[in-house]
Homo-oligomer: A and B are copies of this chain.
Amino acid sequence: MIIETIKSPADVKRLSLEEMKALAAEMRTLLVRKVSCHGGHCGPNLGMVEATIAMHYVFQSPEDKIVFDVSHQSYPHKMLTGRAEAFLDAGHYDDVSGYSEPSESGHDHFVIGHTSTSVSLAGGLAKGRDLAGAKGNVIAVIGDGSLSGGEALEGLDWAAELGTNFIIVVNDNQMSIAENHGGLYRNLEELRRSNGTCSNNLFRAMGLDYVYVDKGNDLEALIDAFRRVKDTDHPTVVHINTLKGKGYAPAEADKERWHWSAPFDAETGELLSPVTAETYDELTATHLLAQMKADRTVCAITAGTPGIWNWTPERRKEAGGQFVDVGIAEEHAVALASGIAKAGGKAVFGVCSTFLQRAYDQLSQDLCINDSPATILVLRGSLTTMTDVTHLCHFDIPLLSNIPNLVYLAPTNREEYLAMLDWSLGYKAHPVAIRVPAGPTVPATRPVQTDYSDLDRYEVVERGKDVALFALGSFFSLGERVCRLLEAQGIRATLVNPRYISGIDTRLLDSLTTDHRLAVTLEDGVLDGGFGEKIARHYGPSEVKTLCYGAKKQFVDRFLPKEFLAANRLVDTLITEDILGMLNR
């Protein structure tokens, strides 16, 4: 295979056009094969094969620097920059990450996983080049829905002022993860229809030069366009019209399904291990859809990721105007929810923990200062749901729980979650965030409260003495297991379901001081700035000692959940051992 001869971009430059076309076909085969066994981003990579070959044919990476937005379309780039082995040999599939990674190769310049960052990051490389009086092309690749993110638009606006070499490749595959949303995509459509010639042009309006490539999967057209802009002396957009999923029929036919996939049968496209149990995502979508039918003011909001909480195209259609996909625009989504709530609507913004990070100021200013009673569903918040460093869901507790006015709740089971969600829809005093557990639903084994208006009242599930366990949300079951292990040692501990992440039940905490010597906190997130530290501060002046469990503050990448938990002593036996040690001191 040609791909086996490609050790670096220099080897691409030696190929004939026909060889490059054959190379593209090989790369697609490898892409589909790897993703089918391993899982990963499918459609975005299939659409970018030719553009990536053409970029490496024309530009001189790594002296010329290519920065991929989200970098979930960088697999072809990895294949051409010394990392083909990780796609050729199943034994080496895990040698590379699913995103750009400087530690793997000098052809990668940043670790990137969130959207809408490439123009700004690459812009910094260009500015740094100019400050140093250096040379070389800087190329930002963006698209696949990322353009609507605030950071990308800020970057495009700024780029016009750079006044030196800067190339922005807009990969227009006509999709976000789901369909595109936002007015700017109408302009892209108009540009495609007019072959880039229509008078109104978003990029030109932003002050940028503009080149259009209608055949964005045609090597000759791409090479020609990149040659035209290479060594340009001013910021220029190259708008390429590509086909997401190109070359794999199922992915061409259903672009949303094939944006990312768990392992599948490459012949049929069927998932190898389809989810059958009821998940919290499925529960949320079905429950909210029913609520919407009963109440026309209930409105679900997503920022370009309807699929992660099971808002299928069919459900979106059924919900009509009550389901709003704002595109990748988390800042807008939070402010929109605040506005809807102020107008009397019941807004529910569902968002992955890691992506909610993009809207801290909007949570603080637009939502919480205004005390707008909207609901934020924080999806995947946990140490073990996402294991890529750019997608860690470890930080939402410090992020949200330190903002005044926000009620942040941690349900421990299915019924408690639904009760909290329903309560939040009717609650008018404050905004409410709920840390939705991940994975299959867990049924309640004790009665569930329906009203959470008496804020910061923890639930004492078992009343013992000496040691009290504050087992938050998804770690409640860990607390239960520790209780059973302590019981086996003759210790009857107090087990608390805190329910509220954002506040301390001082009355309960103070009452426990009479017959408790140790408070143990368990949280499924980073320790720093989190829940346990608030308990430690409260008990700081008292005789009650504290032990906080959660993760050490660090960025970790592609870890094994079990090993990671053990490294942080988040294991029932280890915690029990520590508690026994403390009690026997």
Chain A interfacial positions (CB closer than 8 Å to B): 102, 109-114, 117, 120-134, 148-151, 153-161, 181-184, 186-187, 199-202, 204-208, 296-297, 299, 321-322, 324, 326-327, 329, 331-332, 335-345, 347, 357-358, 360-362, 364-366, 368-370, 389-390, 395, 398-399, 401-405, 526-530, 532-534, 536-537, 539-542, 545-548, 553-555, 582
Known: A296-B131, A299-B127, A329-B158. A540 touches B529 (CB 8 A): no
Contact indicator A117/B366 (Cβ below 8 Å): yes
Query: Which one, B117, B128, B553, contacts A344 given CB within 8 A?
Result: B128
Contact indicator A158/B182 (Cβ below 8 Å): yes
A-B interface, 9 closest residue pairs, ranked by CB to CB distance from nearest? A124-B339, A150-B150, A183-B207, A128-B343, A160-B183, A120-B335, A540-B546, A529-B529, A402-B529
Known: A183-B156, A399-B360. A124 touches B390 (CB 8 A): no
> In the bound complex, what is the Cα–Cα distance between A151 and B360 (angstroms)?
12
Residues of chain B with a CB closer than 8 A to A134's CB: 343
Contact indicator B546/A110 (Cβ below 8 Å): no
> In the bound complex, what is the Cα–Cα distance between A370 and B118 (angstroms)?
13
| CB-nearest residue of chain B to A346 | B131
26 example contacts (A-B, Cβ-Cβ < 8 A) are as follows A110-B342, A123-B339, A124-B343, A127-B324, A127-B336, A127-B340, A129-B343, A132-B297, A132-B343, A133-B296, A148-B158, A151-B331, A154-B327, A158-B183, A158-B329, A161-B182, A182-B206, A187-B205, A357-B361, A357-B365, A402-B528, A402-B530, A402-B553, A529-B533, A540-B546, A541-B546
> In the bound complex, what is the Cα–Cα distance between A10 and B449 (angstroms)?
49
- Given A183-B208, A402-B528, A532-B537, 4 extra CB contacts under 8 A: A154-B326, A160-B184, A184-B205, A404-B553
From residue A210, how far is it (CB to closest CB) to chain B in Å? 10
> In the bound complex, what is the Cα–Cα distance between A125 and B370 (angstroms)?
13
Contact indicator A161/B183 (Cβ below 8 Å): yes
Residues of chain B with a CB closer than 8 A to A358's CB: 360-361
Residues of chain B with a CB closer than 8 A to A159's CB: 183
Contact indicator A541/B534 (Cβ below 8 Å): no
From residue A509, how far is it (CB to closest CB) to chain B in Å? 13
From residue A336, how far is it (CB to closest CB) to chain B in Å? 4
Contact indicator B534/A345 (Cβ below 8 Å): no
Query: Which one, B109, B332, B342, B395, contacts A125 given CB within 8 A?
Result: B342
> In the bound complex, what is the Cα–Cα distance between A121 and B123 (angstroms)?
30
Contact indicator A151/B541 (Cβ below 8 Å): no
Residues of chain B with a CB closer than 8 A to A545's CB: 540-542
> In the bound complex, what is the Cα–Cα distance between A500 and B133 (angstroms)?
35
> In the bound complex, what is the Cα–Cα distance between A541 and B547 (angstroms)?
6
Contact indicator B187/A207 (Cβ below 8 Å): yes
